[in-house]
Amino acid sequence: MRADGDDDGKTSAFRCLDAARYTVAAVVTVLIVAVVVTSLKVVLRPESLRLSVVDGVVYSTPLPASEAVTLQLNLRAENPSGRARMYFLNVTAYLFDGATPASTPTPDEDCIIFFNPTDEAVRQEMAVDLMTSVEATNDPGVMNQTYFELLYADGRVIGDMTLRVDGSLVTEVSSGFNMTRLQVTYYCRPLLVGGSKGGKVSMGRKDVLCTDNLGSQ
């Protein structure tokens, strides 16, 4: 005959074993979830949209008949990802000189002039050009008057300029899932402003890559 104490000991042992199994199972489950979440982040995290200013120049064309000057900007957006389509939306590009930091919290008030490129969808491993222009007059509400005179009356080419580009970046993976919209800012420098495309100012010029750091080149 078995003593009651023996049964109690075996029951306690089984309970301890069950508890240990549950603990191990819980730990394994947590590890599996962590691995899956990490894997999803890796799969869904896209490479960043690459942005550059074609020729590194914002071209200008004086318009004597209307006493205005047209500024032409060509931003090239490149999607390096092979699995995600990117949408660059609500884009505004602000032009600055060296006297005002491009990182100002009020770029629309402090810039020389600004552009509003159209929204674009950039397919996987493709590039699109966001070509935009603005017609400026000698009006401080439109363009800094000093720079208007330099470009319109004097036909000057101005160096060491900075373009700040603000926009919303939405990434869509092949499943159609849209990630959270991100607010992004790029800085493109140094740029030239002035001259005409195909003229001397564009000879030998390379595209200027934009970065998310004002101090980067």
Which has the higher per-residue pLDDT, 174 or 134? Answer: 134
pLDDT tens readout for residues 106-142: 999 999 999 999 999 999 999 999 999 999 998 888 8
Percent of the chain that is helix, strand, coil (3-state, to 5): 30, 40, 30
Q: For the domain bounded by 50-211, which CATH number is listed?
A: 2.60.40
Is residue 102's pLDDT more than 50? Answer: yes
Q: Calculate mean pLDDT across residues 170-196.
A: 84
H or E element at residue 42: helix 4-44
Q: What is the pLDDT of residues 43-98, one digit of tens each?
A: 444 478 999 999 999 999 999 988 999 999 999 999 999 888 999 999 999 999 98
